[in-house]
Amino acid sequence: MRVPNRSLLFLAGFVWLVLIAGCEPAGQNANTTATTQATPPGAQSLTVIPRPQQIVEMMTARGEQDQATPAIQIVPPTRDATINGATVEVKLDLSGDLKGYMPHKDPATGKGNHIHVILDNQPYEAYYETSQPFELRNVAEGKHTLRVFPSRPWHESYKNDTAFQMVTFTVKGGGDASKPTTTNNGQTMASPLKSPAATAAASPARERKDYTPSQAGEVDPAKPLLTYSRPKGEYKAEDADPIMVDFWLLNAKLQGEGGDYRVRYTVDDGEAKFLEKWEPIWLSGWISGKHRVKLELVDKAGNVVDNGGYNSTTREITVIK
């Protein structure tokens, strides 16, 4: 068959370009290739990296603390309690082999051991000074679940059997979503835990959180349960890369540990990846902006294990680099 001259010219041009490219120094050529084949601008490619050295060093400095096996108990609210009013007081009893582990915020760094407190399936709140009760405020009328587990300064949870507790309770005459959330002085509080001024204006030393309305799922404490912990909120500068993914598992052994389950994670519209072991991972390569992180507990067939809707949770985080 006759080849049109225009095609021959094009082919010659192409061969010439390939030859030119081949003459370039290797490094430069590699760069050219990377640029032309890269995903469109704004796309993100995440990789799992080892535990950051900074955290390894913190662990060494903490002595035996990371081998602690804390035992946590929610004192009030008691299981199936009915609470009148929108404020729920939470007290915890922390025992077990603590090896020096104790929740406390260092005033200098704003960091320290703390407890993750989760109402229904909302993002966790950090609770540092457990000698004082924690107040859940503006809690909607109805049934709720509360989950707690001890965490390290870098938000990695303790994962021994006794380090987790969940209770269900019911609120009568709860918070009204149409009213702004306020302190007991009537001052509007946007982010009570993150604003020292707002905290100081209210009763001293008591940590609290104003909640948006939510209800408990139909959670069965005997069934496999994935509790989403990290990431959440805003990540800035050196905290924005890598970002840790961490969760709590109840009644579910993962496939890499002889069990039947896997944890599936998806970031934005990216490809779903699987975790076969119950341990945190660190993801590197985030770009600035808002991202969705989804964690799901799935069975051998890849189906989400049903438990009150809690086994598939998506959070939006903000990365500012």
User: Please, what is the minimum distance in Å from the beta carbon of residue 143 to Cu ion?
Assistant: 26
Q: Which is nearer to Cu ion, 238 or 271 (CB)?
A: 238
Cβ partners under 8 Å of residue 300, min gap 6: 255, 260
Nearer to Cu ion, 126 or 245 (CB): 126
Report, in Å, the least distance between residue 87 CB and Cu ion: 23
The residue to which tokens 């604003």 are assigned = 195
What does the alpha-carbon distance between residue 60 and residue 183 come to, in Å, rounded to a whole number? 40
Q: How far is the CB of 281 from Cu ion (least distance, A)?
A: 16
Written as six digits, the tokens of 260 are 């039947």
- Per the CB < 8 A criterion, the answer to whether 243 and 286 are in contact is yes
User: Judged by CB, which is closer to Cu ion: 165, or 307?
Assistant: 165
Q: How far apart (Å, rounded) are the C-alpha atoms in residues 34 and 29?
A: 9
Which is nearer to Cu ion, 117 or 171 (by Cβ)? 117
> How many residues does the structure list for the chain?
321
Phi-psi region of 163 (alpha: psi -120 to 50; beta: other; left: phi over 0): alpha
Element containing residue 55 per DSSP (H, E): helix 53-61
Residue placing its CB nearer to Cu ion in the complex, 137 or 155: 155
Query: Taking the complex as a whole, how short is the minimal distance between the CB of residue 130 and Cu ion, in angstroms?
Result: 14
State in angstroms the smallest separation of the CB of 229 from Cu ion. Answer: 7
Least Å distance, CB 116 to Cu ion, is: 5
Residues lying near Cu ion in the complex (CB under 5 A): 126, 151, 155
48: which 2 tokens? 């799992």
Which of residues 128 and 169 has its CB atom nearest to Cu ion in the complex?
128
Which segments of 79-177 does DSSP mark as H helices, in order? none
Q: Report cis status (omega within 30 of 0) of the bond before 196.
A: no
d(CA 250, CA 197): 38
